[in-house]
Structure 1
C-alpha cells in the first residue's frame, strides 16, 4: 500500500479567499459543560477587519454560550471534501436591532450579498426587529486549514 499525498497547509491569502467564497460554515461555541456546541450558520467575511459576521436571534443558545465564554471558531468546507478553513477568535454579540434601520439592522442588511438584496428594504428591516436579530462578530485571531491534492 502506498502512502498518498500529505495535506498541505493553506496560506493566509488562500484561507481568506476560501472564507470569502463560501456562505455557510459551522460555528463552534463552548457549552457550560466544556463540550462544543456546533451549528451551521450563514456568515459574511470581512478580510480587511478580519471579522466574521453571523446573523442570529437573541434567544439562541449560542448567544448565551458566547456571553459566558466568547471563544469561538468557524469551520468552513472548501471546494471539495479534502479542504477546509477554520477561523478562531473572540466573539461578541451586538445589541438587538430595535428600530428598523438602526445600526445593527444596517449591519445585518450589509451582510447580504448584493445579488440577494431584498426588494423592500423597509419590510426587511422591520422583519429583523420582529425576529429580535443580532450580529455575532467573530474577531479572527487565527486562521488555519489544509487542502489534500488528490487526483481523481
Structure 2
C-alpha cells in the first residue's frame, strides 16, 4: 500500500489456466483511506464488491472485521490492457 502511494503505477496480472493464457491491466492506482469506522464509505465500498448472493448474513460483523484488518480499496485506472486471454471470437 505504501509503495502505491509513493509510485501509483501498477499492473494487475490475471492468469487463465495455463502459462500461455493471461491478461494484464496497467495504469495508475488510487488507494483509499483505511476503513476506520464500521459502515463508513470505504467499508461500504468493500462490502459492495461482494456479489449479493455471497454476502454474509451478519454484514455488521464483516464491517467490523474490515476495520480490524485496516482494509483499503485500490482502484486501478487502466490505460493499457493486453494478453492472450483477451483473444475473443467476434463472430
Name the structure, 1 or 2, with higher relative contact order (CA <8 Å, separation 6+).
2
Deviation, 1:81, is 3.3
Shift, 1:113, TM fit: 2.4
CA–CA distance in 2 between the matches of 1:66 and 1:98?
A: 20
User: Is 1:70 the equivalent of 2:4?
Assistant: no
Aligned residue in 2 for 1:100: 38
In structure 2, C-alpha distance between the alignment counterparts of 1:112 and 1:71, rounded to whole Å = 26
Structure 1 stretches lacking a partner, 5+ long: 1-62, 148-152
Deviation at 1:80, TM superposition (A): 3.4
Shift of 1:79: 3.9
* Residues 61-112 of structure 1 deviation map (CA, whole Å, 9 limit, x = unaligned): xx11111100000000114332110000000110111111111001100111
> CA offset at residue 135 of structure 1?
0.7
TM-score norm. by structure 2 comes to 0.85
Deviation of the 1:131 alpha carbon:
1.2
What is the CA distance between 1:130 and its match in structure 2?
A: 1.2
What number of residue pairs does the alignment pair up?
85
Change (3 A) 1:81 1:114: farther
Corresponding residue number in structure 1 for 2:88:
none
Structure with bigger helix share is: 2
Higher strand share: 1
Can you give the 5+ residue segments of structure 2 that lack an aligned partner in the other structure? 86-91
Separation (CA, whole Å) in 2 of partners of 1:113 and 1:75: 22
The TM-score normalised by the length of structure 1 is 0.53
The answer as to 2:61 corresponding to 1:123 is yes
